[in-house]
Structure 1
């Protein structure tokens, strides 16, 4: 088959599969993903970095007279990852210094600055990714040492009863996200240590997920399992799928094994099935704070993975088009104007954003403004956002910029 014929056939197939007109492909926005990321990154720093305490503020500095509030470590890690992606050495140094306020004596990062045993393993993987990036940019050996302790701690939380990684330190719940983020942490750390035990751990974690928390009916991943009762939480979120795809992409890049791409395509097809659990109104239905991981998964697959068969290449092309289409949706309906400021819902924030959404999707639901989404709690006033949502918006468009 000639390449131009193959591309035309593939384009027609994608258009039919995703139910949007063929000429959509030629109507690319004049605003690039990198421009959106740049604006969202700038706003993340301007709105939430507090120079007075040299740290992240949980409260949005869009509003006047904003008080300072210490965020939880998950929000700090997500925001700090956005800064790490920017490559700005000074800002990376600042966010890493702030993160150390959460490190407890065992080398874990606590949920708060109490530095206690309130430790979540998925939080800690997020923190580890920041330290890996910081070491790669700044070359600080202390960061490497902190990261080495942390990856050892994370892998040490493999549940002794049923396997998988505990959600909470020595807790009674094994979650898919903690397990898969631990696997991704292992392959990311492999890039600076080349320890084969890291690859073994990652493979064990993935195989455990397949054997214990994958729904055979649609290939998506359940939330987790309680070892003491054996009860499975059958909720399905996009971040588990995204992190799994990322891990498989890294493993393919490291080992050259094509089977990892086959696995990624299998889960990728499940994640882009518009009749599946992750869709509503024809788009991914998870909150911005979760769906950014799915964008990251596909960005990793498309930039790190090697598609060597016609089936794999066709899947990669379909994923490329779908994440662009999804990104356009989040650009239009999760952003206040074109300011690079993101909110968690068109239904609870700016009335202008809601009107824009309801015009495109009539009958979707009533406007239910939340006072917490406006400065000073004044509904209809200046829309505000949160550290986590704003950072997630920046991260989503960073990932999209890697591909498009």
Structure 2
């Protein structure tokens, strides 16, 4: 056992094939549930749409899992509502009750505006569904809840499970972050129902930095008195080159000045310029190096001024020993299901980054199999839903603590 994560031997007693068979027998209902949620459009920042989607999710959750033992709601007038639901451990006298939860993270916002479905409605063909927001990530939520429901129906012991539903992941989780960190603080493990990467689970994610560089110069007439001015655009161009030179492909570090604006007229030396910069790093050491690059920016013209704002939107999710142990556990369960699972490091970030930064065992990419996230071709592999639902439920079930086990002696 590494960092409290059960070893692969913990899967032997779980009826994984029976779990997958039960879910396969309910696959049509799973697909219907996903279609229903996809049809409730829920773009980030649209409070009416988000509230409608959350209301439908809450009713659906209660129908499958029953009422939560405890529930919290935290609302914001700009971003929407975070919901934290706790379901007490099950298992009876043969199991001890460890109240520390296994946390499931899922967001219900999407990148698609209201009206998208008018042009690209839900459509099924050959085991796939065209589903805006279904791959990222309503499919993962449907699979996770159905997996838990199946385990309950079959009498499989489960630990305390905490489901965290968030409304702003697609815009960086500005409101949800502290609630996610609070909900995960006592977790035994954190499972992220984000989509898989070509079927692979995600064991490392880049940290994301969003920085703004503001440059103030001095305006002057560019023809009559150019030397009286200090060009903010000239300084901005030099800053772009310096920042882009800090990229390191070998370390998978990218620095991209994606937006630049400045100046007022062609015949005026620019007094102002602004750069918006996206940074991706895969280690804390690289994050510190990039911080130093921003701190070292100085104007060539001493009359100009450079100010940097922003910072790290999401910390790095590194493949720690506990994350590796989570994947080993999932891989063992996958073998029981006839699935050979692979792992991958990805450049995108998720709410799992916040949990990983707390030093917790995290496994990401446990959601839908498919592709085309954030694209017009977004799709979900419907045939994979029962097996992936069983996989997530199996991971959760391994954290149920048999009475008399080493885990009981350690934590009891």
Give TM-score scaled by structure 2 length. Answer: 0.26
More strand by share: 2
Larger Rg: 2
More helix by share: 1
Give TM-score scaled by structure 1 length. Answer: 0.26
